[in-house]
Amino acid sequence: MRFDLLTLHPELCLGPVSGSIIGRARAAGLLDVRVHDLRTWAEGRHKQADDAPYGGGSGMVMKVDVVDRGIAAVRQEGARVVLLDPVAPTFTQRDALRLARLSQLVLVCGHYEGVDARVREHLVDEALSIGDYVLTGGELAALVVLDAVARQVPGVLGNPDSLGVESFTPREDGRVLLEAPQYTRPREYRGWEVPDVLLSGHHGRVEAWRHEQALALTRRWRPDLLARPPEDPD
Ligand code: ADE
């Protein structure tokens, strides 16, 4: 799968896509991640990619023509173009699963005080926020989306079982639960013990315990997930 990030700050994006699982998947040819400096498509001696807002006000607004040329230069057939914007629906695991089916995802990072509204209206397929807070720019948001989508691409996670029972992914019954806690050696540390059932070797009992724990954690930390109608595990 190909990802194109359009940004005024490529330096912010390069580290997170170079190491760990994403870096390894790129080296293996499973992911093609390209980070583009939007100034490439700015005109004039000063390569200006933003300008003062019409109607007055503080801050600079990203120019529609620059973003238009950037998208046109990178977009391939079958791509989806997403603007990262705090004024948008919140990105969820469901979106990650949906976007991971694409051949190309183009992520447009807004910066400064905003982006000319015509970008959202005419140039992108959708806009996504990563949560109810305002970041200094869309770069970190784009990297969050990229990471969550990329790990759903077949082969990116060495062990595909890791995608099986996961927080926020609908289970067989369509319910979304938080994942049960995990433990590893040592069996006891400073008097803190690993639950006996995990050492029982009894697969059925372990699974039942995990399900109970998942329910209890969800009730405690995210009761809103239990109140939702079951999701289609498509
Ligand atoms: N840009 C600034 N804040 C953002 C957010 N919360 N989500 C997506 N893009 C953003």
With 90 as the cut, is the pLDDT of residue 33 above it? yes
Ligand 1 pocket check for 135: Cβ under 6 Å? yes
CATH architecture of 161-226: Orthogonal Bundle (1.10)
1 lines ligand 1 (CB under 6 A): no
How far apart are the CA of 171 and the centre of ligand 1, in A? 29
**Fold of the CATH domain 2-150:** Alpha/beta knot (3.40.1280)
Residue spans of the domains in the chain: they are 2-150, 161-226
Residue 182 CA to residue 199 CA, distance in Å, equals 12
The residue-averaged pLDDT of 138-150 equals 98
Q: Give the distance (Å) from ligand 1 centre to CA of residue 138.
A: 5
Burial class for 92, CB neighbours closer than 10 Å (0-12, 13-18, 19+)? middle
54 lines ligand 1 (CB under 6 A): no
SS3 percent helix, strand, coil of the chain, rounded to 5, is: 35, 20, 45
Question: What average pLDDT does this structure show over 104-133?
Answer: 95
16: pLDDT strictly greater than 70: yes
Which residue has 């990619």 as its token pair?
49
Report the pLDDT value the prediction gives residue 169, as an integer from 0 to 100.
84
pLDDT, the chain, mean: 95
Average pLDDT over residues 105-117: 91
Better-scored residue on pLDDT, 19 or 113: 19
